């Protein structure tokens, strides 16, 4: 009786994480605002000329702004992936049957696969950030640039190790089932 009550309480406590996923959906609003703020900045300064007669947005600044928007879009995609698959894995199945809308990967990402997808997304986001820093290299000290590369490589190595660990554990599970 007591054990069953405790187990039900444990199982019901998974709903405590649901507001966190709702908070992530609100974070998408913040990212959307920053994205369109950057887009507005690019369009409003595209043909603007400074007091010295030079364009306010030269080619490199346009590329940097576009990379910032790609970065924001990738972070938004990461949030959507974590939000949906995390909710489905840890709280409850999403009931979208009949609405005609279904994401192809929804319901197919377990916690391990989600970790790998998050790690790969972080590496991609870090790559874009590093590319932006390389484009601004003349304004950044060599020491800072070196630390950006080291941090990026830490993300890359972590993602590779997660993938390797996942492959090893899934191989071990396959052998134990045989």
Global pTM reads 0.74
Write the pLDDT tens digit of every residue in 2-18.
Answer: 999 999 998 889 899 99
> How far is it, in rounded angstroms, from Cα 157 to Cα 136?
25
Report, as an integer, the average pLDDT of 48-53: 75
CB atoms within 10 A of CB 116: 16
- What pLDDT band is residue 38 in, cutting at 50, 70 and 90? very high
**Domain ranges across the chain:** 1-93, 108-178
Structure tokens at 86: 């995390």
The C-alpha torsion from 12 through 15 and 16 to 22, rounded to 10°, is 180
Backbone angles phi, psi at 98, to 5 degrees: 85, -20
Average pLDDT, the chain: 84
Pairwise CA distance, residues 153 & 122, whole Å: 11
Q: Cβ neighbours of residue 13 under 8 Å, at least 6 residues apart?
A: none
Of 24-38, 72-86, 111-125, 160-174, minimum mean pLDDT range:
160-174
- The 10s digit of each residue's pLDDT in 140-154 is 888 999 999 999 999
Least confident among 90-94, 95-99, 152-156: 95-99
Q: 136-167 burial, b if ≥16 CB within 10 A, otherwise e?
A: eeeeeeeeeeeebeeebeebbeebeebeeeee
Write out the two tokens for 65.
């702004």
Q: Is 54 exposed, middle or buried (0-12, 13-18, 19+ CB in 10 A)?
A: exposed
What is the arithmetic mean of pLDDT over 143-172?
Answer: 88
Residue 107, pLDDT > 80, answer no
């Amino acid at each position: 009786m007591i054990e069953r009550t405790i187990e039900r309480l444990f199982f019901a406590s998974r709903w405590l994480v649901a507001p966190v996923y709702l908070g992530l959906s609100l974070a998408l609003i913040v990212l959307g605002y920053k994205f369109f703020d950057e887009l507005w900045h690019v369009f409003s300064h595209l043909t603007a000329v400074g007091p010295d007669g030079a364009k306010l947005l030269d080619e490199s600044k346009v590329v940097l702004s576009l990379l910032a928007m790609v970065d924001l879009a990738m972070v938004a995609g990461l949030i959507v992936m974590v939000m949906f698959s995390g909710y489905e894995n840890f709280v409850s199945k999403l009931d979208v049957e009949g609405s005609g809308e279904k994401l192809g990967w929804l319901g197919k990402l377990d916690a391990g696969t989600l970790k790998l997808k998050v790690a790969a997304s972080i590496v991609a986001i870090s790559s874009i950030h590093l590319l932006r820093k390389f484009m601004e290299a003349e304004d950044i000290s060599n020491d800072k640039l070196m630390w950006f590369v080291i941090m990026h490589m830490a993300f890359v190595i972590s993602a590779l190790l997660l993938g390797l660990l996942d492959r090893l554990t899934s191989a071990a599970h396959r052998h134990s089932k045989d």
